[in-house]
Structures are given as C-alpha cells and as structure tokens.
Amino acid sequence: MVVDRFPGNRIVCGVTFAALAGRKSIPTFLSRYRQMAEDRKKKTVLLMAESDEDDCLLMKDAVREVFREEDFHCLSDGQGIMEYLLRRGLYADKKEFPTPDLILLDLDMPRKDAHQTLKQIREHPQLKAIPVVIYSTSEDEGQLEICYKLGANSYFTKPMLFEELVKTVRCLREHWFSDAHPPSSEELCPCVYCKIQNSACDTG
C-alpha cells in the first residue's frame, strides 16, 4: 500500500514518486536517464539494502521475474551500501560491482539507516544522480516527509504478497527503465495514479 499525502508527489502504478518540478536536480536525473537509455543493452544493475534475508530473497525473485537482464546486489545495511558505492574493500572491482541504475533502501537498517545513507548519497557528486527508492512496513507521514526532503525519488510500503511485490517492481521498471515512458519534468508535476493492466502502466 502506498501513502501519498504530500502535494506535488506523483504516483505511478501505486508507487509514490517525489515531484522534481522546480528543483535543480531535474537536469541531473534526466541526464542520468539518458545515460541509462544508451546503456539499455547492458544488464540493469539494482542495489538493495535489506536487513531481513528472507525479504532480500523475495525481492531478488521479483526482480528476476520482471527484468530480462539484471544484476541484483543485496546488502544488509547502509554501511555496506556506501562501501559498495565508494568501491571500498570487497567492492573495489567495478566489473563485479558496477554502479547501480537504481538503489532500494530499507527505512529501518542497522548501523547506518536509510536517512543517513540517502543523505550521504545525495551529497556525493558522483552518486547524487542515482534514483533512490525507500521502502518500509511503516506508513508514517513524518518519515515520508523526511525521506523526500533528503532527496528520495519514491517511497512505498512493503507488499504482503509476492504477487504485489512483483507488481511494484514492474512499476519501478516502467517508470525508470521504459523507453516508451521516460520520466520528465512535465510528467513529474501532476499527481497521477496508474493501475496495472496487462503488465504495463496506463496513466490518466
């Protein structure tokens, strides 16, 4: 279930996307999208922080069901995410641990939480353009507001059923990785709810 109680946010297939209209980050994100489009033949790289091993395995299965070619990495906390992104220690090999096209952060993580991790990503010049999605079992409005202020692109609550998780992943793919539906500053302005029909998004 998605909570969208902040004016200017955009909902795509039940996933809440922060409106970027009027923000200086729009050109950066669009540039990042164009770069991803040019690399479409390559595997989609997804980086996830999840402290629950079972949830990590479920997301991995959902991602493999939705993406044709994917490179999925799941780490247990925000500290591991930053070590990966900054290529420290075990993650020094760029080919084995490539820069992600999308980052998924569990709101409640040990050591370094989602807020701290997101803030660090947005402050880093080489990392700040990567789309970041926050997810949690919580629907707390205060947490939503904090995440958006820190630069989160989307926030969704963890689905109870695997089928719903697959739908959520499919919507993320349609929004960030579809050539037919690239995100733009114009599209991010209104609040639109999109239902899933035939595994695709219909906006309106």
Structural domains in the chain?
Answer: 25-183 (3.40.50.2300)
- What's the whole-number mean pLDDT along residues 30-45? 63
pLDDT at 103 over 60: yes
pLDDT in tens, 17-32: 444 333 445 555 556 6
User: Picking from 44-58, 61-75, 139-153, which range would have the lowest pLDDT averaged per residue?
Assistant: 139-153
d(CA 144, CA 155): 7
φ, ψ (nearest 5 deg) of residue 37: -65, -40
Residue 28 is predicted with a pLDDT of 58
Question: How many CB atoms are closer than 10 A to CB 76?
Answer: 17
Residue 192 is predicted with a pLDDT of 27
pTM, two decimals, is 0.71
User: Picking from 155-159, 170-174, 185-189, which range would have the lowest pLDDT averaged per residue?
Assistant: 185-189
Structure letter (DSSP) for residue 101: S
Residue 36 is predicted with a pLDDT of 54
Residue 7 is predicted with a pLDDT of 40
Greater confidence (80 vs 16) lies with: 80
d(CA 149, CA 114): 13
d(CA 13, CA 164): 11
Residue 10 forms beta bridges with which residues?
17
User: Picking from 112-116, 148-152, 180-184, which range would have the lowest pLDDT averaged per residue?
Assistant: 180-184
- Residue 15 token pair: 């996933």
CA angle 92, 93, 95 (to 5 degrees): 145
- How does the average pLDDT of the chain come out, rounded? 74
